[in-house]
Amino acid sequence: VGVGTTLNCFLLYCIFRRTKQVLGAYKYMQMLFITIDISYALFQVVLVERFIAQDSIVIVIGLGKYSNNLIVITSFLALYSLTFIIIDFNFLYRLWAIKAPERVKLFSQKRFLLLVLLTVIGEYCFWFHIAYTYFSATDHGRLKIRNVTFEKFGVDTLTQDMIMGDYFHEDGTRNWHPAVAVITFCNVLAFCFGFLIYASANIINCLRNSKLISNAGLSLQRQLFVTLSAQV
């Protein structure tokens, strides 16, 4: 975490110091992406999150000093979800750079970057709302998983704030709230990964059959695509 955060901070500094003529307004989107990575890493240090599963119950708790707070835990989980939409925007940029270079200019326009920013904020708020509303801890679940958390981490679930997926009520009937949340998350992830696959297939096809880009340009685009894929 420390090495990654240091490198991201250095990269953020380098991007910020570039002139507008070199990177254009696109640099602000890159700064946003790096800032999210740094924030996620810092959240991990503060929260010290743990995922625990027991029977039909899944919980997320924090072991850090300031982690006994539901808003903090939910904010962390929502921030994690931004990784997927960031990946999609990166693949969209790479796809346009090869297939429709004229569209890449959109990433240098402040209105388009504002749209990207609003999309990121909207997706974050959506995940936060779903996690906060549909993964609330139940008294039945707290009691059922108490021994596990206390034995492993010394945490008493009766007093600890947490995110909990308790899929069955105490009387054995199904609790649909976490199930609906999981289905919603899976649909969002399916869309993100579906676009990633679509973009990757188109990029590979363009790299093989493009007649508009020079050999040197194709070689550079291949290297950038391989680098992006390796990051994923």
Encode pLDDT of 147-187 as tens digits. 989 988 888 989 899 999 999 888 888 889 999 988 988 99
Cα Rg of the chain, angstroms: 21
pTM of the full structure: 0.78
Residue 191 has what pLDDT?
92
Res. 120: pLDDT tops 70: yes
Res. 26: pLDDT tops 70: no
Report the range of poorest mean pLDDT among 1-5, 44-48, 62-66, 201-205.
1-5
CB 54 within 8 A of CB 141: no
DSSP summary character for residue 148: H
Nearest residue to 200 via CA among 225, 223, 220: 225
- pLDDT band of residue 196 (cuts 50, 70, 90) is very high
Rounded distance between C-alpha atoms, residue 167 and residue 179, angstroms: 7
In percent, how much of the chain has pLDDT > 90?
A: 14
Q: Which two tokens stand for residue 195?
A: 């676009």
Residue 15 has what pLDDT?
64
Residue 125 has what pLDDT?
93
Mean pLDDT score of the chain, rounded to an integer?
83
Residue 190 has what pLDDT?
93
Number of Cβ atoms within 10 Å of the Cβ of 48: 15
Label each residue of 27-53 as H, E or C: HHHHHHHHHHHHHHHHHHHHHCEEEEE
Q: Give Cα separations from 196 to 52, 86, 88, 94, 229 (angstroms).
A: 30, 11, 6, 11, 10
Residue 45 has what pLDDT?
82
Give 207's contacts (C-beta < 8 A, 6+ positions apart).
Answer: 98, 218, 221, 222, 225
Number of Cβ atoms within 10 Å of the Cβ of 95: 21
pLDDT (average), residues 133-144: 90
